[in-house]
Amino acid sequence: MSEVIIEVRGLKKRYGKTLAVDGIDLTVRRGEIFGLLGPNGAGKTTTILMLLGLTEADEGRISVCGADPMRDPLTVKERVAYLPDMVGFYDNLSARANLRYTGRLAGIEARELDKRIDGALVRVRLEAVADYKVGTYSRGMRQRLGLAEILMKGAQVAILDEPTNGLDPQSTFELLDMIRTLRDDGMAIILSSHILDRVQAICDRVALFNSGRIAIEGSVRELAAQVLGGGYTLQVDTSPEFGSLNAVLTAVDGVTGVEAEEPGRYRVLAMRDVRDAVARAMVNASAPVLRLASVEPSLDEIYRRYFEGLHVKT
Amino acid sequence: MSRRSGSPWKGSGIVFEKEFSDHLCSPRMLVLEWLILLTGIGAVFISIQGLRSTTAQDPFLFLRLFTDARESMPSFLSVLAFLIPLMAIGLGFDSINGEFNRRTMSRVLAQPIYRDALLLGKFAGGLATLAVGLASLWLLIIGLGLYRLGVPPSGEEVARGFVFLCISVAYGGFWLALAMLCSVVCRSPATAALSALGAWLLLSLLWPLMAGFIAGMVYPSNEVAVLLGIPNPQQIGLQQMLSRLSPGTLFGEAVVGMLQPATRTFGVVFASQARGAVVGAPLSFGQSLLLVWPQLTGLIAGTISLFAISYMAFQRQEVRA
ipTM of the complex as predicted: 0.85
Chain A residues closer than 8 Å to B15 by CB: 105
Contact yes or no for B108 and A105 at CB 8 A: yes
Contact call for residues B50 and B68 (beta carbons, < 8 A): yes
Cα distance from N-terminal residue to C-terminal residue, chain B: 26
Check residues A226 and B198 and name the one with the higher pLDDT. Answer: B198
pLDDT surpassing 60 at residue B2:
no
For residue A15, give the chain B residue with the closest CA: B318
Candidate from A12-21, A189-198, B301-310 with smallest mean pLDDT: A189-198
What average pLDDT score do residues B185-212 get?
93
Q: List, for residues A114-156, the tens digit of each pLDDT value.
A: 999 999 999 999 999 999 999 999 988 999 999 999 999 988 9
Candidate from B61-75, B90-104, B162-176 with smallest mean pLDDT: B61-75
Model pLDDT, residue B3: 62
Q: Which CATH number fits domain A4-224: 3.40.630.10, 3.40.50.720, 3.40.50.300, 3.40.1410.10?
A: 3.40.50.300
What is the residue type of B300? I
CA A18 to chain centre: 26
Contact yes or no for B320 and A49 at CB 8 A: yes
Model pLDDT, residue A158: 94
Model confidence band, residue B55 (pLDDT cutoffs 50, 70, 90): low
- List residues in chain B touching A: CB distance below 8 A: 2-6, 10-11, 14-15, 18, 22, 26, 102-104, 106-114, 318-320
Model confidence band, residue B234 (pLDDT cutoffs 50, 70, 90): confident
Contact call for residues B161 and B63 (beta carbons, < 8 A): yes
Contact yes or no for B112 and A75 at CB 8 A: yes
Among B2, B104, B118, most A C-beta atoms within 10 A, so best to mutate, is B104
Contact yes or no for B15 and A105 at CB 8 A: yes
Model pLDDT, residue B227: 78
Q: List, for residues B271-299, the tens digit of each pLDDT value.
A: 776 777 777 778 889 999 999 999 999 99
Contact yes or no for A72 and B5 at CB 8 A: yes
Where do the CATH 3.30.70.980 domains begin and end in chain A? Answer: 230-296
The Cα of A15 is separated from the nearest Cα of chain B by a number of Å equal to 10
Model pLDDT, residue B275: 74
Q: Closest to B111 (Cβ–Cβ): which among A89, A90, A102?
A: A102
Using DSSP bridges, classify how beta strands A255-262 and A265-270 pair: parallel, antiparallel or unpaired. Answer: antiparallel
How many alpha carbons lie under 13 Å from residue B17 in its C-beta half-sphere?
A: 9
What is the residue type of A285? A
DSSP B321: -
Model confidence band, residue B1 (pLDDT cutoffs 50, 70, 90): very low
Nearest to A36 by CA among A201, A224, A191: A191
A292 DSSP β-pair partners:
A236
* 3-state SS class at B299: helix
Where do the CATH 3.40.50.300 domains begin and end in chain A? Answer: 4-224
Q: Closest to B111 (Cβ–Cβ): which among A71, A77, A86?
A: A77
The class level of CATH for A230-296 reads alpha beta
CA–CA gap between residue A297 and residue A232 (Å, rounded) = 7
The Cα of B55 is separated from the nearest Cα of chain A by a number of Å equal to 50
Contact yes or no for B6 and A102 at CB 8 A: no
Averaged pLDDT of chain A:
88
Model confidence band, residue B321 (pLDDT cutoffs 50, 70, 90): low
Contact yes or no for A54 and B319 at CB 8 A: yes
pLDDT surpassing 90 at residue A40:
no
Contact yes or no for B107 and A72 at CB 8 A: no
The Cα of B117 is separated from the nearest Cα of chain A by a number of Å equal to 10
Beta-carbon contacts of B72 under 8 Å, excluding residues fewer than 6 positions away, are none
Among A18, A45, A74, A80, most B C-beta atoms within 10 A, so best to mutate, is A74
Chain B residues closer than 8 Å to A78 by CB: 112
Nearest to B125 by CA among B253, B20, B263, B242: B20
Model confidence band, residue B117 (pLDDT cutoffs 50, 70, 90): very high
Q: Closest to B319 (Cβ–Cβ): which among A49, A70, A92?
A: A49
The Cα of B68 is separated from the nearest Cα of chain A by a number of Å equal to 42
Among B23, B97, B109, most A C-beta atoms within 10 A, so best to mutate, is B109
